[in-house]
Each structure stands twice: as C-alpha cells, then as structure tokens.
Amino acid sequence: MADKKYTVAVIGSGGREHAIVKAIKKSPLIKEIYVLPGNGGIARDAYTVNVSATDKEGVCEFCKGHGVDYALVIPDDPLVLGMVDALNAVGIPCFGPDSKAAIIEGSKCFSKDFMKKYGIPTALYESFDKEEDAVAYIKKVDSYPMVIKADGLALGKGVIIAQSRDEAIEAVKSMMSDKKFGESGSRIVIEEFMTGPEVTVLSFTDGNVVVPMISSMDHKRAHDNDEGLNTGGMGTVAPNPYYTQTLADICMEKIFIPTIEGLKKEGRTFRGCLYFGLMLTPKGPRVVEYNCRFGDPETQVVLPLLESDLFEIMLATTNGTLADLDVRFSNKSACCVIYATKGYPEKYGKGFPITLPEYGPDCEIFVAGAKQDENGNLVSNGGRVLGITAVADTLRGAIDKAYDLTKKVSFDEGFYRNDIGARALEALK
C-alpha cells in the first residue's frame, strides 16, 4: 500500500478543479492525472479528456480503459446524478459522496427536514409542492425580506430574496409554474431571512470523523459593494476573520458533528468534502446551505494554505481512516480574485484572448472558463475565467499581491471586483 502510486481521474472543469489538480500533483502517491473534461489551463498540468462530467457511461468507460484506480468527482451535478455510484459499480473507488449522501445538496427540502429532525440550527421554513399553498403561506406570514428557494440544483441561482409580497408571489410563480429552474422548482422552500456575516467551512469527512478546513469568505455579487446579480462567486479570502475559535467550537458541537452523525443514522453516510455555508446571526451560527462538494472559488484559497498531502487525505475519506491523519493548514492568509467575462452572470461572449503573466511561488492562476485555441493560446470560454490567488503572511498582504498580479493579466473583455477582502479587513480593525 505504502508504495502504491495511483492513476487518477478528476471529474470536472472549473478553477476549483484546477486548484485540486495542482494540489494533488505535489503528492508522491500520484502516477498520472486525467481530467474529464478539464479546460485549457488544466491541460497545462494534466491530461484532459473530452468526456462530459455528467456522462456516467463515458466516464466509467474511460476510467476502466485507462487503468484509473481512483476518481475524484468534484462538481455537484455528477455527484447528485450518481457518478460515484456508477464508478463504484465498475470497481473504481472515488473521492466524493454517493447519490444517497449527495442529496444533502441535491434537495433543499431534504436538507431542511434533516436539520429540523437533528436539531441543527438553520432558518425557520416551510416546504411546498403546490403553488396555491405557497401563496397562502406568503400572505399569512407577510414579513419581508422573505427567502424563496427552488428545491433542486439551479446553478447557484435558485434563491430569491423577496422584498415585498408581490415579489415573493412572483418568485414562487417563476419557479413553480413558469419553471424558471426546470424541475428543480417543482418543490420550493420558503424561509426566514437571516442576517450576519457569511462563512464557508469546507470539511473532510469519512463518515465517522469530520475535519474542518480553514474557513473562508466568498463574495457572491457580481460588482463592488455587493451590487449586481448573484454569481457563483467573484472572489474569496481565507481565513475568514469573523470565524473565531469560539464560533468554530460551537459549530463543531452544534452543526458539524450532528450533521455527520445524522447522515449516518439516515443510511446516507457522507464521504468526501462537505461544505457548510454558515451565517453568523445575532442568535448564533446557522446553516444557510450544505453543498456536497468543494466550493468554487473557496477551494482556490483553502488549498494553497493546506500543508498536508491532499491526495492522502482524500484516500482516507474513502477508506475510513481520516482519524489517523494530521490535517494541517499554514497560518498565512490567501486571496483569490475572479476575472470574469464582461456581462457575466448574464450574457457574455467567448473566444477573447488572454495572456497570463509570469508569477512567483506565492501566487497561482487557476483557469476556469478558458480553452486553448489552435495555436495553443488561451482564449475565454465561459463566465468565470481565471482565479488569481496569492498567499501572504497577512490578509492585507495577500489581497495586495493578488491584485498586483490581476493587473498584469491581459484580458480586455474581462472584469473583476476591486473589493475582494475589504469586508474581511474591516473585521480585523
């Protein structure tokens, strides 16, 4: 076992996947890395293979045919669709939960009912599968803002914060009868609006123990000062200064352990990375959402601070040996600035040229929506294109270094927020 080297398939194609590939490449346990489908930046670090991340048959066939002995299933949709189940069925062990455990992200109704059953703190809610019942409830509660969520996966867009009765009723209609998010909106959750700083805590778990990673802070709105539409995330910093050791202890006792144990009791043992989206409300930490995977772009700041061997930890989540490992993070800080295509998260073009500068050992440029053209040059191919990351002794230092590097990138049709980390610096004052 100690000498075994692994041929690995990484399923996914974003900046998060690029950060994971760069991290596992450092492990002495790795022989070969294939990424399905990957992107033009990942292609500079691993073999990319043109098979879609949700094509269960194609992924299994490729992995069997290429001697893959461990697969990392990273994005939400293949996890919820049962990619891990399919790979396991053909004898390939995986990093990531099976579909029974991935439901924690795949269904908001499931996750809310689960939290209620196990006493895990979250916003008060009701779920509905009939539009008239939802509308009657809105009129009865009549308190705004009110939060309306589609049950299923909706590319991070299935949450509407309604400021009035009309907006709330319109949101319910757009999800339930206009099917704005397809079948994801055939059931909905309506919940209480919470306030307070948000924190992401990614964690490793083998179903028995849970090991939180360093905390982080996402910036979800498209533009400075949290203006504009919600996006997949426009930048991150780690650690999150709002998340003190006292809060971490409370979260471990009231949220992390009860979640892992509850899932096990439900016959849905979770192995992989469990994402806790938390809000630090005046009444204490509450779960905003669970994700069954690494966050993007949280991963781009968390992994550069991980000092232990990521690949060894991943294997331990699958083998149930996580308790034996020492998972260490550095006490530095990291900042990631997302360079997106103008127009994102709505309409944007593709095929714009990008030139990356040289950079030093404390920086990384993770590539997401970009491909290589016929001459091997990088061109944009998506909304979020690059994640420009820097590590430094202080948060201020990491932010400055990340922006210095961002300014050296040439991407004329791109834009980025100028205030990633500004709120985190406020908290440190």
Q: Which residues bind ligand GLY (CB under 6 A)?
A: 156, 218, 232-233, 291, 295-296, 298
Helix (H, G, I), strand (E, B) or coil at 358: coil
Please report whether residue 277 would count as binding ligand AMP according to CB under 6 A: yes
8 A C-beta contact, residue 69 and residue 311: no
Own/partner contacts of 145-149, CB < 8 Å, gap of 24 or more, are 145/193, 146/190, 146/191, 146/192, 146/193, 147/123, 147/190, 147/191, 147/192, 147/193, 148/172, 148/175, 148/188, 148/189, 148/190, 149/108, 149/188, 149/189, 149/190, 149/191
Please report whether residue 198 would count as binding ligand AMP according to CB under 6 A: yes
Please report whether residue 362 would count as binding ligand AMP according to CB under 6 A: no
| Minimum distance, C-beta of residue 295 to ligand AMP, in the bound complex (Å) | 10
8 A C-beta contact, residue 17 and residue 10: yes
Q: Which is nearer to ligand GLY, 215 or 291 (CB)?
A: 291
| Minimum distance, C-beta of residue 233 to ligand GLY, in the bound complex (Å) | 4
Please report whether residue 193 would count as binding ligand AMP according to CB under 6 A: yes
The interface region with ligand AMP, picked from 77-85, 185-193, 253-261, 332-340 by CB under 6 A, is: 185-193
| Whole-number Å distance between alpha carbons of 246 and 243 | 8
Q: From ligand AMP, ligand GLY, none, which one binds at residue 59 (CB under 5 to 8 Å depending on kind)?
A: none
Please report whether residue 109 would count as binding ligand AMP according to CB under 6 A: no
- Which residues on adjacent β-strands are paired with residue 200? 216, 277
Q: Which is nearer to ligand AMP, 278 or 392 (CB)?
A: 278
Binds ligand AMP by CB under 6 A, chosen from 8, 46, 194, 368: 194
Amino acid identity, position 29: L
Q: From ligand AMP, ligand GLY, none, which one binds at residue 291 (CB under 5 to 8 Å depending on kind)?
A: ligand GLY
Q: How many residues line the site for ligand AMP (CB under 6 A)?
A: 14
| Whole-number Å distance between alpha carbons of 34 and 46 | 6
Please report whether residue 309 would count as binding ligand AMP according to CB under 6 A: no
Q: Which residue, judged by CB position, is nearest to ligand AMP in the bound state?
A: 289
| Whole-number Å distance between alpha carbons of 373 and 40 | 9
CA-closest candidate to residue 11, choices 63, 68, 73: 73
| Minimum distance, C-beta of residue 230 to ligand AMP, in the bound complex (Å) | 6
C-alpha 135, offset from chain centre: 32
Q: Which is nearer to ligand AMP, 93 or 277 (CB)?
A: 277
Q: Quick one: tokens of 44?
A: 């500079």
Amino acid identity, position 73: V
The interface region with ligand AMP, picked from 17-25, 95-103, 136-144, 188-196 by CB under 6 A, is: 188-196
The interface region with ligand AMP, picked from 174-182, 192-200, 317-325, 382-390 by CB under 6 A, is: 192-200
| Minimum distance, C-beta of residue 294 to ligand GLY, in the bound complex (Å) | 7
Please report whether residue 289 would count as binding ligand AMP according to CB under 6 A: yes
Helix (H, G, I), strand (E, B) or coil at 203: strand
| Whole-number Å distance between alpha carbons of 59 and 61 | 5
Binds ligand AMP by CB under 6 A, chosen from 100, 220, 221, 342: 220
The interface region with ligand AMP, picked from 129-137, 163-171, 191-199, 247-255 by CB under 6 A, is: 191-199
Q: From ligand GLY, ligand AMP, none, which one binds at residue 198 (CB under 5 to 8 Å depending on kind)?
A: ligand AMP
Q: Mask 116-135, x = binds ligand AMP (CB under 6 A)?
A: -------x------------
Non-local CB neighbours of 243 within 8 Å, separated by 6+ positions: 199, 201, 215, 280
Non-local CB neighbours of 307 within 8 Å, separated by 6+ positions: 328, 329, 330
Q: Which is nearer to ligand GLY, 285 or 295 (CB)?
A: 295
The interface region with ligand AMP, picked from 81-89, 176-184, 190-198, 331-339 by CB under 6 A, is: 190-198
| Whole-number Å distance between alpha carbons of 61 and 87 | 9
Q: Quick one: tokens of 117?
A: 């059953």
Contact residues toward ligand AMP (CB under 6 A) are: 123, 147, 149, 156, 159, 191-194, 198, 220, 277, 288-289
